[in-house]
Structure 1
Amino acid sequence: MDYNAFFADVTGWIQYANQQALRLGLQSADFWAWVADSTGAMCRHYQDHPLVIKQMVMLAEWLEEAYDARL
């Protein structure tokens, strides 16, 4: 696996997640659908490598914690 490419993709995903959160709102179903779809796509892109799965789960949990902190 190309770790440099993966972590560059993670950085891009985080930046886009922040944009999507602003555009769609953390509370919206569309935002969470995007999170689910995009994390799955990233995992598939890297052939479900265990590191990729763990990283994307962690990022989804990070977003959930950000959502919970706003309640």
Structure 2
Amino acid sequence: MDVKAFYKDLAEWVLSINQQSQTLGPTEYWEYILNTAGELSKKYNERPLVKAVLHAHIDYLEQAWKEQ
């Protein structure tokens, strides 16, 4: 796996999530997060590192959401 490419894609994904949080409603926002995380995971053949990193980001977002 090209780790450098993955982390570049991850950074772009995080930025896109931040942008979408400004325009989407709650349901659409979470659908966006989950759908795009799934696409990113598939792109990197659902490798354990990829899944763990995405899961950690989603957990963080969920916790932040609950604290709002």
- Report the TM-score range of the alignment, normalised by the length of the smaller protein: over 0.9
Q: CA deviation at 1:66?
A: 1.3
Instruction: Name the counterpart of 1:61.
Output: 59
Q: Within the alignment, does 1:20 sit opposite 2:20 as a pair?
A: yes
Identity %: 29
Instruction: Name the counterpart of 2:35.
Output: 37
Instruction: Name the counterpart of 1:3.
Output: 3
Where do 5+ consecutive residues of structure 1 fail to align?
none
> Secondary structure of the equivalent of 1:47?
coil
Note the alpha carbon deviations across 1:22-67, whole angstroms, 9 max, x for none.
1114xx1000111110111111000011000001111111110110
Considering Cα pairs closer than 8 Å and 6+ residues apart, tell me whether 1 or 2 has the greater RCO.
Answer: 2
Q: Which runs of 4+ in 1 moved over 6 A?
A: none
> Secondary structure of the equivalent of 1:24?
coil
RMSD of the alignment, in Å? 0.8
Structure 2: how far apart are the matches of 1:30 and 1:61?
A: 17
Q: CA deviation at 1:69?
A: 1.1
Where do 5+ consecutive residues of structure 2 fail to align?
none
